[in-house]
Structure 1
Amino acid sequence: MIAVSERIAIPEHELIERAIRSSGPGGQNVNKVSTAIELRFFIWGSSALPDEVKQRLAKKRDQRITEAGEIIIQAQRFRSQEQNREDARARLAALVRTALEPPKPRVATKPTRSSQRKRLETKRLHGTLKQDRSKRHLSDE
């Protein structure tokens, strides 16, 4: 069981763990032992998460979340399988924790007087520049 918060915990049966061969340094150990862990968690199939948390998680723009709503975490930071397993679970819990709080609503603001003035001045200058171009073009003919 992965404790995400005091109210939410992900049960073991909702996780799919697979030991895979790790890449990178490690000598012969890398070629012989599958120390990396691939952790899969299906968002929509979880009974532990409330619906609004599931929706926020699925909407997140994170490369670890597939379009089908599956979170795939690969942990290969350590040389031992057990440490990588703990790392993958901690990273899953951290990812789910980010979706627990609803996002702060955006407050629409008005442009400042200064920015409005600058925009209109730039617009006027651009218009006169274009006008000047057309006058020169007509007089050349």
Structure 2
Amino acid sequence: SEKYQLKTRDWDAPGNLVDYVTRVNRVRRAHPALQRYDNVRFYDADHPAVLWYGKSWGDDHVFVAINLDPERTRACVVDVPLEALGIAPEATYLMHEQFSDATYEWHGPRGYVELHPQRDPAQIFVLKQ
């Protein structure tokens, strides 16, 4: 069976995921919410090709948007459970995107995400008050 064969890999070949996985692991290690398995909650995204979920632990609130379409850019509005996090529904807060290091100011319980399948098929946001 092929799955038991040793293969030589070119770790520098185009399409290699090593750098991407390294960045994901760096974010995971930095956030206690991402180190637990019993705290995932799925929330509404207004496009069926976007998966939106969050994980919280104490004051660490992390949200992840994933483009499930490998060919097209997907943009949508996502729900943020402000009241469940003890934040007023009309509040202004910051969402810090971990891969790009961009910070966005969001107002109220909905925010906008745009996911490009080749450049950023997923975004990881940390909510800052």
Task: Give the TM-score band, short-chain normalised.
Answer: 0.3 to 0.5
Judging by fraction of residues, say which structure has more strand: 2
Higher Rg: 1
TM-score under structure 2 normalisation? 0.33
TM-score under structure 1 normalisation? 0.31
